Structure formats: structure tokens, C-alpha cells
Structure 1
Amino acid sequence: MMINRSRSVLTPKLTWQPLVAVLGLLACLPWLILSPVNAQNPLTHHPSAYIALHADDPINWHLWGPEAMQLAQEQQKPIFISSGYFACHWCHVMHQENYKDPLVAELLNQHFISVKIDRELLPDLDDYLLNRLRAATGSAGWPLHGILTPEGQLFSGFVYQPRDTLLQTLLHLNHWWREDATRIRALSRPATQANETPVSREQLHERIHHNLVDAMDSFEGGLNHTQKFPHSPLLLSLIKQTPLNNDQAEWLETTLEQMQNEHLRDHIHQGFFRYTVDPNWQEPHFEKMLYDNAQLAELFFIAGQKFDRDDFIITAQHTLDYIERELFSPITGLAQSSQSAIDAQGIDGGRYIWSSAALADVLSENQFNLVNQAWQLDNPPPFELGWLPKPIQSDEWLNIQQALALRPAITDDKQLLSWNGLLIRSYLQGFLVTQNPAYQHNMISLANRLHSLLSLPTPPRALNNQGQLVEYATLEDFAYVISALEDMAHYLADNYWLNQAANLRDLARQQFFINEQWHTSTQALLPGQSRYYDLIDLATPSSTAIMRCNEPMIAISDDFQPWQYASYLRYQCD
């Protein structure tokens, strides 16, 4: 069953204006009168596990679409968009602390049109809100909230807030809107187009390499940030370039070693976490995403050959083993999107962190003595719940690993076409490096499956294990599969895959190339949602970098760092 949504494209533009503080609100607001939640809840039985999670909230949630905007215009209320995803720890915290609270619900129900979205199903809308919030405040994340005029002009936004802070924010916003809606509309009037500068690929190459001189953390690897993300599109772009200078090659190898050996990697179940909250790769944010693991498997296969490192190849193999064991769905033939940071008891990191007592319960006396010495269990634990396992130098390690691998994960069964497209490339590199026929078989099966889905009259963004087709495919879905098929054609010397890719390029152009510009979606309802001509890399590659691979000039914006355009160097058509 396809979720019915509009396919119109609107392209006016937007500028951000920050929220102005308003004081003394509690005394001037009228008494809140409780109102019933909609009997017809559109979130009930939604194919997105994240959206369905909110079906029992006392909030009158709406799904995103023209109907929500029309309702806001009819009632002249601001639109409150809440964006998150199933694996997100703070999204679950926000849900329990705020969205089940009757006072929060009453404020939202009376004064806003509330919209709940799964960011993984509507990446173009989420990216737009994320980039605008980051531009205004310097940072952004999830849960992500955007406050819009009824016409769709963004005028405020925030991420996680505790209950009392959220109540105050909603009161401020409501008072500001009631007292000065005309000024808010004027301040948030959208810009016509982002300020972008055309540069050649050679100029972009120079800018990126100059930018990286100060951005690289030469000691710990990664970029010089307080949190450490893999930045896979950047690393994959760099490792494909030849020659790398000595500083870049050394930094790249250090980064790979740190990601592999420290706590970005799950040393028990394998696979990688999304990022670490510290600059030393020690404290992970415990969610695990298919897009990270697919890209990192590809990266480590390539790096194993480039640096003649068997340990990198083994890490890549273990990462694919993790995907096949824990994410792959035999029902659909696709990999599922993510595993939650919380366990079945709602504990952040509960699957991965072990107390000394829990270790003693599952390990033999000899095994416990080994980890007690290696992990210094007599010292205060690095995490509130205990210790995060790390390999030890002992023949018993594999048995210890097996004993600690029995805790179950909570997995989102949503299977995104684009992220599975990234997985094709992992299997391709795995096959090229190891000649493992299983990788070749999985690659071909996945390629055929995705091509078939994208060739449907109305291709979906995702599937779930109940066989439902969810939302509409985006440019990203086509782009990632196209680039994987083109790589298969190149490395396997098989024009069949080139023809399949060309077919999808034609379909993508028919749907997403509008007014001489690539649009990420056929449903861009907000003013300014398509304001950038060339998109940057985020945690995954830029879709326009793939679709414009034969263009000599790239439109870059000072809103972003040059290294965020790295995929334009990687994806260049022959």
C-alpha cells in the first residue's frame, strides 16, 4: 500500500530569522481548555515504526503534505514540524518527556498544526530544516523541530528540550505569533536563491585540500571537532584520489585505525555506531545506521588494498557480516535501516555496556579474570552502566565475544532503497578485493531488486517487512543505485549494468529535473526548499554530485565548508 501524497513542486525561497524572546507570557495567556485528540489518527498503523510510535500521543499529529498546510492556512496557526527517526536516543527521550505530557499536548493542539515526520522517509524536508537551523545557530541534530508560518516560511527551530523549557518555548512562540504575525511573515520572507559561486572541479580540488589542512586532526584522526563522525563521503573521495600527499595519506590511515580500533566500532556484534560524542572515539552514540556501515565496509575494502592492510579488509568483511546477520531481511531481499540506541528496557546503550556483575554472570571465571585485568574493572567504570568491551590479546577473545553477543537489538524494519544502493558498492568492492562469490551473488541480487523497484510506475522510498511500499522515491534513491550500477559496469566490464543505469537516469530526469535544476523530491512544498543548485555531502553522498557527474562547473556556497563538496571530485563521468 502506497502512502498517498501530493507530487507537486514549488520553488520559492526562504531566509531564516531567529526567535525573539518574549517575556511575561504565563500571566497573559488565557486558561487552557482541554480538547479531545482526533479520533481518526493518521499515525495508527503507519508503516514507519517511528511514526507509529507516536500514534498514542495526546497530540493531534498530522502527516506532512498539502493537507497540513491547507489546515494551517484555514486556521491561521503556525506549523510545528517534529522530525526524528527510530534509532535516535534523544527522539525517544523527547517522546516520553514531552509528547506524552498533557500540557505540552494542549498547547500544541490549541495553537499549532503539529506534523510528525520520519526524517529517513522525507530526507529533503529534513535536510532543509537541518541546514537552516545549523546556519542560524551553528549546530543542529535530532529530534529536530521547525516552526513555520501557515504559508510554509520557517521562522524558528530547536532540537531536544526538556519539558519545562519546551512549554516556555511554545508559550513564547504562540504569544509572538498572536501579537506580531505580520512582522514574522515579513522577517521570514524567503530569499530568491542561495548565493553560490561556480568553480571548476580543479578549483574545487584545490579549495578542499587547502580547507583540510586546518580541518584534519592529525593525532586522533577525523576532523577537528568535539564529536567524531566518520564523514564517509569525504574519506571515500580522498582515498580514490591519486596521489595523496604524505600528510593526507598518514591522516587517512590514522583515521581508519582509530575508527577500527576504538569505540566507534562495536567490537562484540561488529558494525559501526553513528558517531562518538568525544574527540577521541571513546564514547559512542549507540545507534547504528545502514548508511554508515555500507559506506565504511566499502571504505575499508578499498583502504585494505591501498595501504596493504589485511586488518582493514577483515574489518570490512566483519561489517558486511554484521549487516547480513542483523539488518538483512529475507522477506524483502533488502537491508533494514537502523538499530536503536536504546534496548528493550529503554536504556541508552543497554545492549552494549556491561557492568562487572553482568560480566561475571555470563563469563567463565578464567574469562572474567582476563577482562578484569584488561579493562581494569576494579576502577570506576567509564560509563554509568559499566564498560564497553574492547578486544583483548588472548586466545579466549572469540569465546568472550560470543558470550557477550546474545543481547538482542531493536531494529527498524524500514528498508530504504537509497541506503541499499550504497550496500551494492560494498559488495562490489568486497568481491573485487576478495573474489568471494557470495559477495558477487548478493551484489547482483540487490542490484536487480532495486532496479525493479525504481522502475515501478510509482517507485517507493522504502519497504517494510509487511510488504508495504512507503512514501515516494527521492532523487537520492535513484542516484545511489545509478552510481552503483555504473561502477558494476566499469569494474565488471559488463554493459548490461550500464544500460540498467541509463534507464534509471532517464526515469530520474523525467521526475526530478525541473526548470533546469535537479530537485531532491517531487514534493517540495516549502518556499526555499530547493534553494541550492548543487547539494553538499551529509552523512551520505550528494545526490546532485552523482546526477551532474559530467558537468565541468560546480555551484558552491559559502554556507558550507569546501570539504562538504568532496563527492563532486569522486563522481566524475568518463
Structure 2
Amino acid sequence: MTNNNMQPNRLKNEKSPYLLQHVLNPVNWYPWCDEAFEKAQAENKPIFLSIGYSTCHWCHVMERESFEDEQIAKYLNEHYISIKVDREERPDVDHIYMTACQAMTGHGGWPLSVFMTPDKKPFYIGTYFPPESKWGKPGFIEVIQQLHEKWENEHDKVLAASEQMVKSVEPRYSKFEPGEVEYRTLTRAYKQFAADYDTKFGGFGGAPKFPTPHNLMFLLRYWKQTGDEQALNMVEKTLDSMYRGGIYDHIGFGFARYSTDQQWLIPHFEKMLYDNALLAYTYLEAYQATGKDDYARAADEIFTYVLRDMTDEQGGFCSAEDADSEGEEGKFYVWTPQEVNDILDFEDAALYCKVYDISECANFENKSIPNLINTSYVRIAHEYGISQEELRTRLEQIRLKLFDARDKRIKPLKDDKILTAWNGLMIAAFAKGAQVLKKPIYKDVARRSIDFIMTYLRRSDGRLLARFRDGESKYLAYLDDYAFLIWGLIEQYEASFEMRYLEQAIELHQQMKELFWDEQKHGYFFYGNDGEELISRPKEIYDGAIPSGNSVAVYNALRLARITGKQEYEQEAEQIMRAFAGTINEYPRAYSFFLIAIQFALGNTGRRPPITEDSKDIQELVPTDEAQAQIQTQAQTQYQTQSQPQA
């Protein structure tokens, strides 16, 4: 049963597209605010915290199944204070409770479902719950009923459990082993990637497969510094396979978030700004390394997609596009042969279906995802008696017709909020594109985004903010916002040599140091000393779907040291490296962007960092069981929506 009265709840005044998706739920949602916690304290009720984001498929499923259900909503409203959080607006809150979820359950994902005390301490955590028990998972109605009974009848035990959970998880937030980065750390990371490399399809490991472009950036640098051709081969095979796969939108361009299968065929169809920024940057570097036009073309096409579909009229970049349209995952993107025939003449339709694997056999739920996995341009050009260039020209003409037809379909939801962090990544990509592809227009695109952020996402005192939407700037910026924007500013300075970009980078770096720096143990906290105090103040160095703020910060510091000649930046970089070196040495492939900073420090650009000589033979790294388990958990869950429901 759903809400027939359609009365808006307390989310009606929010700007987040995700929160607004839930504004007509019969659940009496609160945003994350003091009022909610004060009410829970006054009424002695537990809090149900639900964290997700607007383009999350399983978030949509749980909303339809549970949060629109009158019976479930009534129980929540009577016995809980329910809070909705957009993880992209409040990554600090998400990071705290996702880390706890992984520690307590061994996995994570979104929607994240947290049951906690009024003082924000969790006592039970899961992800997606079906409305009733199935797949070996408890039903959501059973969970909320049982937890309410425990809250009422075993209150002291619940409070004790929450205290114990916080105590046991605390080391995961900020405990890192210091040390000295060893020369062999880079080779150990390389060997770990090589051991996990998929020689058939590219990428690393099995399904699901994530692009994780900074892994490839590390390998490119490893090849450049060592001459090891296998490192370059791994990069090229992976980039080629992703570009040919269904994870790439061959009609409208841009990459989906990840592939649910091993061969990059079937994507989770949502498109994220950060993926496309980092992938464009990586394809540009691959073009620099190899001179292969296909890599330049891939970057250009990503930029075409972003400029067409993801750029605000004022110059900011929007956050994401949904996987679903009309309630079906991928419906906007898939085709049948008949649909292609209805748009094209017979010969063009036959050619396109042959090249892009559109057939009656289908490859995704009775329809087909266009892909080039088994396509040979050489063979098809020979078959049609034309050159490969003529084949490409004809296919491009066909693509434009299909794009125009597809454009009339009901489009997936666009999350049009503008995030400082993700804009910083895209600024870096466009500025890099201006340099590598010799296209000044990309420099202008980066400039507009920088100007937008400096105008709308800075307070009058210069403090960065994290999110802009619908005329509202909100949330104190996090470490990632500062670090990623500084990266973009440095790239834009190198593309234009306009001093204002370097000056802005230096000013923001200083502000970042004042707000986030740990004076005692060094490194940067995730949220500032002027931010809301949560149950912990975490640091992050794991480089998941996006690099960590600390990894990018140390890279920025080294680049600013080289540009300005100021030793204070070099010293800061050395302090960060030492603060985390012991942890990184344990399993270095988990920290690929941090390793990029180390590679930069090792280059012939000045002083060397605090890296220890090691005369021992380099051994294949066999990580400890604990380290292996930790990285597997993080890699599969920290930044992903699960490909199938998990609880």
C-alpha cells in the first residue's frame, strides 16, 4: 500500500534530488538536523538513518517496497525518528557509518540502513532490506519490529552494544601505521596488479569490474619509469576493452559506473561525473604515452558528453545520471533489431546491428546493449569493400540518427547538484585536455567551472562550500573538495600559465592546512575543525572509485613545491608520507593515487622524499590475511552500489 494522501514530509524544503525523491513518502522523514536528534532524545526513540543517492538503483527499490508502504511507514513513525541523508552532500556522515557497516557485517553498499541512539551511536547496521524475508535476508518490517522490542525491553543492552560498536570501529577511522616508504613499495604494488590482471578482458579481478582509472595512471607511470612493457600492456588492454564494452555508451558517449560482468559488457547504467573525469584524464595520458588516436578520441567523446548533458548553463558540472528510466534499469540505452530497423534504412540497420551486436539473441533482458567486444573493423571494412576510415564515417552518420531517435525517449533522471569535489576532478580533466589535445576551448570550459565555484561555492570569508543547487550553496567543504579543486587549479595553471590559478591553489591549500591538518600525527582529517562533530573524525587514504583526499593532497603539495620552490610544501608531503607509510607498505595497490605522488617525488624534479633504500631482493607480496580481507571488502563495497541486494 502506498501513500494516497500525497502529503509532503519534512524533506520538502531540501534541495537534494535524492531527498526530494522521498518527499511524498508516508515516512515522516527528517533531514540530518538538530531537530531530529533533539526529538529522539526527548521522546527516547531510536533513530533510523537511511543513506543513499539519487541515481542508486537499490535505493529506488527499497523506497518502492518499504518507504512507500503505509504499514511500514506507520510503524517507523510511531517508534523511530527517521532521517534521510544524501551521501553525496554529506560524505562525512556516509563515511562514518559505511565504515561501521563494513566492520560489523563485512560488506557495504547503498542504501545504507543504520539504527542508532539519539547520540548518533549505531547499534545495528545493514544495507538493502526487502520488505519481507527473502534471499536469506530478514524483512525490513521484521527488523524494525524486533529492534523496537529490544529498545523497549533490553534498553541497557542496546546502549552497551552501541558503545561497544563505536569503540571497536574507532581504529578504522584514524589508526594508520607510520613508517618510511620503501623503494620496493612501487614494485610490490605493480606485482599485485599483475597478479590480479585479467589477461582476457583487461581490468583486475572478476565481476563486478570498476574502471578505477588511477590504478591505470599508476601503471602508466610505472612503465615510464621502469620501461616494463607489461605495465603498459595492462593499461592499453584495459582501456581498449572498456571503450569497446557495453560500459561505454556508444551512441551518446560517456562511461557507466561499473560493469556487472567480467568482460565489461553489462553496465550498471548510471553515469557519474567523477568516473568520466578520471577516465578522460587517463585516456589523455594514454594518448601522451602511445600516440594512439583512439585514446584521444575517447577523451574527446567523454568531453562531448559532459558538455552536452552534464554542464550547467553557468558553467558548473552536474553530478550524475540515473541507471533507471520508466522504472526499468537501462531502458534508455538498450535496443532491439526492430527498433534499429524503424530508424535506419535496411543496409544501415544491418551494418549497425552487425558492428554493435544488436540481435534477436539479445545480451540484456531481451534487448541488446551496443558494444564492440567481438567486432573487427578490419574484417567488416573488408567485407563491405571500404576502408576503415570510410567505415568509421558511415557509422558516425548512423550514430547521429540513432542518437536523435534515442533522445526522444524518456531520459533517466539527472542529479543536477554541483559538487565542488567532482567539479575539481572535471576541471583537471578539461585543463589536461586543453594541453594534450591542443584545444583551447577545453581551457575555457575549465575556466567557467572555476569561476562558478569561486562565485557560488565560497563564503564571503573564502571558506569553500561543498554543494550548489537551485540557487543554494550549502555544507562546509570537505577535504576532497579542497584537494580535488586544488588539483584542477594546478592543471589549469599549467594549461594557461595565468597566475590567478596558481594563487588560488596556494590560497586554498593554506586554508585546507588550517582546517583539516592533524598537528599531532600529520595527514588530513576528512572534515574541518569548524565542521559538525560526529562520533569520530576520520582520515582516509584508501583510493577507491575516487582517490582519497590525502592522496591528492600529497600530490598537490609536491607539485606546488616544484612550481614555487617553497620547501614548506615538500616538508608537508614528507610528513604525510611518513604518517601513512606503514599502512601503505602493507598492501600498496590499495593506495594507487598515493603511489602516484611517490612516483612524482621520485622523478628527476628535485629532492627525493623520505624513501628507504632496501637491498633485499624484491619478493612477490603476500599480504597478511587481515590486510587482504580489508582491501577486498573495501574494493567491493566502499564506493559501489551493490549489483545485487545485500543486507
* TM class by smaller structure: 0.7 to 0.9
1:85 maps to 53
Residue 278 (structure 1) shift:
1.1
2:454 maps to 451
Q: Structure 1 residues 386 and 557, CA, compared in 2 at 3 Å: closer, same or farther?
A: same
2:261 maps to 278
1:483 maps to 487
Q: Structure 1 residues 145 and 368, CA, compared in 2 at 3 Å: closer, same or farther?
A: same
**Which one of the candidate residues 540, 553, 578 is aligned to 1:553?**
578
Q: Structure 1 residues 160 and 236, CA, compared in 2 at 3 Å: closer, same or farther?
A: same
Q: Structure 1 residues 373 and 247, CA, compared in 2 at 3 Å: closer, same or farther?
A: closer
**Which one of the candidate residues 379, 396, 399 is aligned to 1:398?**
396
After superposition, the C-alpha distances for 1:164-201 in whole angstroms (9 at most, x for unaligned) are: 12112222322233333322332332235444211333
1:527 maps to 535
After superposition, the C-alpha distances for 1:442-489 in whole angstroms (9 at most, x for unaligned) are: 22232333234454235431222x322233322211111112222334
Matches within 5 A, 1:164-183: 164=132, 165-183=139-157
**Which one of the candidate residues 159, 179, 185 is aligned to 1:199?**
179
Is the Cα contact below 8 Å between 2:114 and 2:125 reproduced in 1?
yes
Is the Cα contact below 8 Å between 1:342 and 1:348 reproduced in 2?
yes
Residue 495 (structure 1) shift:
4.2
Secondary structure of the structure 2 residue equivalent to 1:463: strand
For normalisation by structure 2, the TM-score amounts to 0.77
Distance 2:38 2:597 in 1: 40
Distance 1:169 1:273 in 2: 34
Is the Cα contact below 8 Å between 2:52 and 2:85 reproduced in 1?
yes
Distance 1:385 1:312 in 2: 32
Distance 1:327 1:496 in 2: 26
Residue 139 (structure 1) shift:
2.5
Q: Structure 1 residues 77 and 225, CA, compared in 2 at 3 Å: closer, same or farther?
A: farther
Does residue 367 (structure 1) correspond to residue 348 (structure 2)? The answer is yes
After superposition, the C-alpha distances for 1:65-105 in whole angstroms (9 at most, x for unaligned) are: 33322222222222211111111122112111111001111
**Which one of the candidate residues 563, 580, 589 is aligned to 1:563?**
589
Distance 2:452 2:29 in 1: 34
Secondary structure of the structure 2 residue equivalent to 1:199: coil
**Which one of the candidate residues 35, 42, 47 is aligned to 2:10?**
42
**Which one of the candidate residues 267, 271, 284 is aligned to 2:250?**
267
Distance 1:302 1:379 in 2: 39
Residue 413 (structure 1) shift:
1.3
The AA in structure 1 aligned to 2:535 is: P
Does residue 463 (structure 1) correspond to residue 431 (structure 2)? The answer is no
Residue 292 (structure 1) shift:
0.5
Is the Cα contact below 8 Å between 2:357 and 2:370 reproduced in 1?
no
The AA in structure 1 aligned to 2:401 is: A
Secondary structure of the structure 2 residue equivalent to 1:313: helix
Distance 1:226 1:560 in 2: 25
Is the Cα contact below 8 Å between 1:451 and 1:500 reproduced in 2?
no
Distance 1:157 1:116 in 2: 15
Is the Cα contact below 8 Å between 2:102 and 2:108 reproduced in 1?
yes
Is the Cα contact below 8 Å between 1:263 and 1:284 reproduced in 2?
yes
Matches within 5 A, 1:180-191: 180-189=154-163, 190-191=166-167
**Which one of the candidate residues 306, 310, 323 is aligned to 2:289?**
306
2:632 maps to none
Q: Structure 1 residues 373 and 481, CA, compared in 2 at 3 Å: closer, same or farther?
A: closer
Distance 2:584 2:262 in 1: 26
Q: Which runs of 5+ in 1 are unaligned?
A: 1-34
Residue 249 (structure 1) shift:
2.1
Matches within 5 A, 1:285-300: 285-300=268-283
Does residue 157 (structure 1) correspond to residue 125 (structure 2)? The answer is yes
Does residue 337 (structure 1) correspond to residue 343 (structure 2)? The answer is no
Is the Cα contact below 8 Å between 1:460 and 1:473 reproduced in 2?
yes
Is the Cα contact below 8 Å between 2:104 and 2:125 reproduced in 1?
no
Secondary structure of the structure 1 residue equivalent to 2:125: strand
Deviates more, 1:551-560 or 1:172-181: 551-560
Distance 2:340 2:101 in 1: 43
After superposition, the C-alpha distances for 1:247-267 in whole angstroms (9 at most, x for unaligned) are: 322212111111111111111
Distance 1:554 1:220 in 2: 37
**Which one of the candidate residues 90, 100, 110 is aligned to 1:122?**
90
The AA in structure 2 aligned to 1:417 is: T
Secondary structure of the structure 1 residue equivalent to 2:42: helix
Q: Structure 1 residues 205 and 79, CA, compared in 2 at 3 Å: closer, same or farther?
A: farther
Secondary structure of the structure 1 residue equivalent to 2:449: helix
**Which one of the candidate residues 208, 213, 218 is aligned to 1:237?**
218
Residue 553 (structure 1) shift:
1.0
Is the Cα contact below 8 Å between 1:417 and 1:477 reproduced in 2?
yes
1:54 maps to 22
Secondary structure of the structure 2 residue equivalent to 1:471: strand
Residue 382 (structure 1) shift:
1.4
2:444 maps to 441
Distance 1:376 1:544 in 2: 43
Distance 2:449 2:359 in 1: 48
Greater relative contact order (Cα < 8 A, sep 6+): 1
Deviates more, 1:378-387 or 1:392-401: 392-401
Distance 2:586 2:334 in 1: 36
**Runs of at least 4 residues off by over 6 Å:** 35-40
After superposition, the C-alpha distances for 1:410-462 in whole angstroms (9 at most, x for unaligned) are: 21111111111101111122111111110122222323332344542354312
Secondary structure of the structure 1 residue equivalent to 2:177: strand
2:561 maps to none
Is the Cα contact below 8 Å between 1:61 and 1:115 reproduced in 2?
yes
Distance 2:477 2:32 in 1: 16
Q: Structure 1 residues 127 and 37, CA, compared in 2 at 3 Å: closer, same or farther?
A: farther
Distance 2:359 2:206 in 1: 32
Is the Cα contact below 8 Å between 2:114 and 2:122 reproduced in 1?
yes
2:417 maps to 414
Is the Cα contact below 8 Å between 1:421 and 1:450 reproduced in 2?
no
Secondary structure of the structure 2 residue equivalent to 1:380: coil
Distance 1:402 1:262 in 2: 19
1:326 maps to 309
The AA in structure 2 aligned to 1:404 is: L
Between the two proteins, what is the percent identity of the paired residues? 28
After superposition, the C-alpha distances for 1:272-323 in whole angstroms (9 at most, x for unaligned) are: 0000111211110000011100111111011111122110110000000100
Q: Structure 1 residues 247 and 377, CA, compared in 2 at 3 Å: closer, same or farther?
A: closer
Q: Structure 1 residues 211 and 70, CA, compared in 2 at 3 Å: closer, same or farther?
A: farther
After superposition, the C-alpha distances for 1:122-144 in whole angstroms (9 at most, x for unaligned) are: 11211222232223333221112
Q: Which runs of 5+ in 2 are unaligned?
A: 133-138, 378-390, 558-572, 607-647
Is the Cα contact below 8 Å between 1:475 and 1:519 reproduced in 2?
yes
Distance 1:238 1:224 in 2: 16
Is the Cα contact below 8 Å between 2:207 and 2:260 reproduced in 1?
yes
The AA in structure 2 aligned to 1:296 is: L
Is the Cα contact below 8 Å between 2:443 and 2:492 reproduced in 1?
no
Residue 375 (structure 1) shift:
5.4
Is the Cα contact below 8 Å between 2:27 and 2:76 reproduced in 1?
yes
